[in-house]
């Protein structure tokens, strides 16, 4: 009866031992994990060390760190360390230094505020230069007879905006189909005069100057100009009866016009102009025949006068001499 009792007590003891060992192992594992995660604790102060001196100066925060006693000694024959190189950001070379940016060194520059130009100079100067203008044109407002003009002019620019010059042109007439249809449909022959040649003294002024991008690659400079003057024109009547005499008229003419110039080079421009030539012309008498006013003198004495607006459109080029120019005023 004693052997079963001893076995029972043995079982109880073995169970208690295993429980104690399990709890101890669990606590040891948790403590080890906390020790690895936490930073190493500072060593305890030496209780036998002397007390700190309260009158000693405070440590300099800008002082160099103490040398490592375990570091290798410096080699006296070694090359000196290279100096630190200041890196300039790409695209900022030559710019003026910016203020208020801590930690950035001012880059050396040769620029100054005088080099900054707000309004650039004009790319083309005309003052003191001659302009030679060959041109050709066509009349616009007469549907019975059309005139083609070929001529030229010489202008001298007193400034970039003011000019004075002379011009002359020769006209070539061309009867339109409408003139022939009028005679066939209404049995009437219209009164017509042809223009022979003209000359004028012209004053010019440039009120507008500008520029625009040409195909987004090149800058094209241009200007608008206006001109007016006084001159003379020679016209010739066209007799309705081919057997009668014609005559010439010398009339005072006032040209008025506007135009534009496109600057291609420093010595070349492309010009377009629209002009109105005002003058009073003499026309063949409406009742002239072989019986009435057969000679030119009597017909001219009884001629009818009318105010004429001869609108012409011109295209041409401008050649400037001298071909180069210099700026005489500062920026």
Written as one string, the DSSP assignment of 9-51 is HHHHHHHHHHHHHHHHHHHHHHHHHHHHHSPPPPPPPPTTSPP
Reported as a pLDDT band with limits 50, 70 and 90, residue 219 is confident
- Please give the pLDDT value at position 270: 96
Residue 102's φ and ψ, nearest 5 degrees, are -70, 150
- Please give the pLDDT value at position 38: 45
Q: Rounded to whole angstroms, how far apart are CA atoms 71 and 196?
A: 108
- Please give the pLDDT value at position 40: 45
Token digits of residue 320: 């400037």
Residue 89's φ and ψ, nearest 5 degrees, are -60, 145
Beta-carbon contacts of residue 279 (< 8 Å; ≥ 6 apart): 233, 251, 252, 253, 254, 307, 308, 310
Reported as a pLDDT band with limits 50, 70 and 90, residue 41 is very low
Reported as a pLDDT band with limits 50, 70 and 90, residue 162 is very high
Token digits of residue 218: 């090149």
Q: Rounded to whole angstroms, how far apart are CA atoms 34 and 23?
A: 17
Reported as a pLDDT band with limits 50, 70 and 90, residue 5 is very low
Percent of the chain clearing pLDDT 90 (strictly above): 39
Average pLDDT rounded to a whole number, residues 171-195 = 86
Nearest alpha carbon to residue 325 among 121, 119, 120, 128 = 128
- Please give the pLDDT value at position 22: 54
CB 282 within 8 A of CB 303: yes
The predicted-structure confidence for 122-140, as pLDDT tens digits, reads as follows 778 898 999 999 999 999 9
Q: Using CB atoms within 10 A of its CB, is residue 288 exposed (0-12), middle (13-18) or buried (19+)?
A: buried
CB 207 within 8 A of CB 160: no
- Please give the pLDDT value at position 150: 97
SS3 content of the chain, % helix, strand, coil (to 5): 15, 40, 45
Nearest alpha carbon to residue 260 among 211, 327, 311, 309 = 211
Reported as a pLDDT band with limits 50, 70 and 90, residue 37 is very low
Give exposure, 276-285, as e/b (b: 16+ Cβ within 10 Å). Answer: bbebebbbbb
261 beta partners: 223, 271
Domains of the chain with CATH codes: 130-321 (2.40.160.20)
Of 40-54, 107-121, 162-176, 225-239, least confident by mean pLDDT is 40-54
Token digits of residue 58: 């405070």
- Please give the pLDDT value at position 283: 93
Whole-number average pLDDT of the chain: 77
pTM value?
0.61
Q: Is the peptide bond prior to 322 cis by the omega test (within 30 degrees of 0)? A: yes
Reported as a pLDDT band with limits 50, 70 and 90, residue 74 is low
- Please give the pLDDT value at position 102: 53
**Does residue 152 register a pLDDT over 70?**
yes
Average pLDDT rounded to a whole number, residues 273-301 = 90
Average pLDDT rounded to a whole number, residues 230-253 = 93
**Does residue 81 register a pLDDT over 50?**
yes
């Amino acid at each position: 009866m004693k052997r079963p009792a001893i076995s029972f007590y043995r079982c109880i003891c073995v169970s208690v031992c295993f429980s104690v060992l399990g709890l101890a192992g669990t606590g040891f594992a948790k403590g080890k994990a906390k020790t690895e995660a936490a930073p190493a604790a500072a060593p305890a102060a030496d209780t036998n060390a002397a007390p700190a001196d309260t009158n000693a100066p405070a440590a300099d925060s800008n002082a160099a760190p103490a040398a490592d006693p375990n570091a290798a000694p410096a080699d006296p024959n070694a090359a000196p360390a290279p100096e630190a190189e200041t890196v300039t950001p790409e695209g900022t070379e030559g710019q003026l230094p910016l203020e208020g940016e801590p930690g950035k060194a001012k880059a050396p520059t040769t620029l100054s505020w005088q080099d900054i130009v707000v309004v650039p100079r004009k790319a083309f100067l005309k003052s003191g230069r001659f302009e030679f203008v060959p041109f050709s044109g066509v009349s616009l407002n007469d549907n019975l007879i059309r005139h083609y003009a070929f001529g030229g002019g010489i202008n001298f620019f007193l400034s970039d905006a003011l000019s004075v010059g002379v011009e002359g042109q020769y006209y070539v007439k061309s009867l339109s189909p409408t003139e022939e249809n009028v005679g066939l449909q209404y049995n009437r022959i219209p009164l017509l005069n042809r223009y022979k040649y003209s000359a004028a003294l012209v004053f010019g002024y440039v009120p507008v100057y500008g520029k625009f991008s040409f195909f987004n690659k090149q800058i094209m400079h241009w200007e608008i100009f206006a001109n007016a003057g006084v001159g003379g024109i020679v016209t010739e009547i066209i007799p309705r009866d081919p057997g009668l005499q014609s005559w010439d008229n010398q009339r005072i003419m006032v040209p008025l016009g506007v135009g534009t110039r496109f600057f291609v080079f420093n010595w070349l421009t492309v010009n377009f102009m629209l002009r109105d030539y005002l003058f009073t012309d003499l026309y063949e008498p409406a009742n002239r025949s072989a019986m009435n006013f057969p000679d030119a003198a009597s017909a001219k004495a009884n001629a009818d006068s009318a105010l004429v607006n001869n609108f012409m459109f011109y295209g041409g080029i401008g050649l400037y001499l001298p071909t180069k120019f210099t700026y005489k005023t500062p920026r």
